[in-house]
Amino acid sequence: MIAIGCAIYGLSIDMISIPNQLTDGGLSGITLLIYHWWKINPGLSTLILNIPLILIGFRYLGRRLMIETIWGTICLSFFLSFWRLIPIINQFSLEHDLLLSAILAGLLSGLGLGLVFRFNGTTGGSDIIARIGQQELGISSGRIFFALDFIVLTISLSYIDIRHMLYTLIACYILSIVMDKVQQGGTRAKSLFIISDKYEEIAKLIDINIDRGFTYINAEGGYNRSKKHILYCIASANEVPAIKRLVLNEDPQAFMQIYDVNEALGDGISFNRKKRNWLKSLR
């Protein structure tokens, strides 16, 4: 999967970024700077520039991750050279539409890097910096990438105009969003916290009509110190309207909080999903 992610990322750079004079952020952006200044193959410069960063990574990220980083670096260097030999690269020109180029570059690059990070690898370069920041500072890799990209893009004004730089910034923004989405996982859901004196009746209705499990959480009222029970439930986004109707029909005074869940794993969510009669749930 790390190799597949590197293949997609390399394809994005060779097929979209370079032909349409869009630069890139991080180390990839630096290799594009070198390519435009001295015409050195990005695959070769990527391999050379990664050597000192890999040595730093061994100290902070450990042996296992850095072995996978070396693998990702080799894969990216290979595909950056490989795709340039494929005829389709020269046939896929989007110079007439820089906005479309920026969107497509952001989507493909974000997908590729997201796969690499999701399977605990990096492609070297700024990936190592992003992984260290994520591990040591708790900052999402997408945000670190965007900050590093902005710095490199500013330097890139030495060989591209402000118009191309701004379109590249759009691509980098899309990349950061897509990468975080892919890295976090695709099984998204909603979490519901329901506070009601009729929590048992509401739980039975959710179980019978929506076929979702639930959990009781013991709580205490902040005003009169009375004992409360919070009903906690995870559901898919399209089940939330039906749950809200069940709750409000049973107890119009019920208090509900609904949150986005980046990733949900477990029976009925990520596997063993039950087939539902959506016409019934709409009633």
Q: What is the dihedral of CA 260, 264, 269, 271, to 10 degrees?
A: 160
Angle between helix 141-155 and helix 162-184 axes, rounded to 10 deg? 170
Least confident span in 11-20, 71-80, 83-92, 234-243: 83-92
Instruction: Walk across the sheet containing 227-235 and list its strands.
Output: 215-220, 227-235, 189-195, 255-261
Give the pLDDT confidence of 22-51 residue by residue, as tens digits: 877 777 778 878 887 888 887 788 778 888
Contact 141, 41 (CB under 8 A): no
Q: What is the pTM of this model?
A: 0.66
Q: What is the dihedral of CA 21, 26, 27, 31, to 10 degrees?
A: 20
Least confident span in 42-51, 127-136, 243-252: 127-136
Mean pLDDT, the chain, as a whole number? 81
Compute the distance between CA of residue 126 and CA of residue 124 in angstroms, rounded to an integer. 6
Q: Which residue has the higher pLDDT, 129 or 99?
A: 99
Query: Within the chain, where are the H helices?
Result: 2-12, 26-38, 42-61, 63-82, 88-91, 98-118, 126-137, 141-155, 162-184, 199-205, 240-250, 278-282
Compute the distance between CA of residue 281 and CA of residue 269 in angstroms, rounded to an integer. 17
pLDDT > 90: percent of the chain: 21
Radius of gyration of the chain (CA): 24
- Pairing type for strands 255-261 and 227-235 reads unpaired
Overall average pLDDT of the 145-174 stretch: 82
Compute the distance between CA of residue 78 and CA of residue 204 in angstroms, rounded to an integer. 57
At residue 93, the pLDDT reads 64
For 103, the token pair is: 């969107």
Architecture of domain 189-282: 2-Layer Sandwich (3.30)
Domain ranges of the chain: 2-184, 189-282
Give the pLDDT confidence of 46-101 residue by residue, as tens digits: 778 888 888 877 877 777 777 888 898 889 889 988 888 887 666 566 666 889 88
* Residues in Cβ contact with 267 at an 8 Å cutoff, skipping those fewer than 6 apart: none
Overall average pLDDT of the 9-32 stretch: 82
Compute the distance between CA of residue 205 and CA of residue 198 in angstroms, rounded to an integer. 11
Compute the distance between CA of residue 98 and CA of residue 41 in angstroms, rounded to an integer. 24
Q: Is the confidence at residue 278, as pLDDT, over 60?
A: no
AA letter at 138: G
For 150, the token pair is: 């902005």
- DSSP-based three-state secondary structure for 267: strand
Q: Kindly list the distances between the CA atom of residue 282 and the CA atoms of 24, 83, 238, 239, in Å, as whole numbers in the listed order.
A: 47, 50, 10, 9
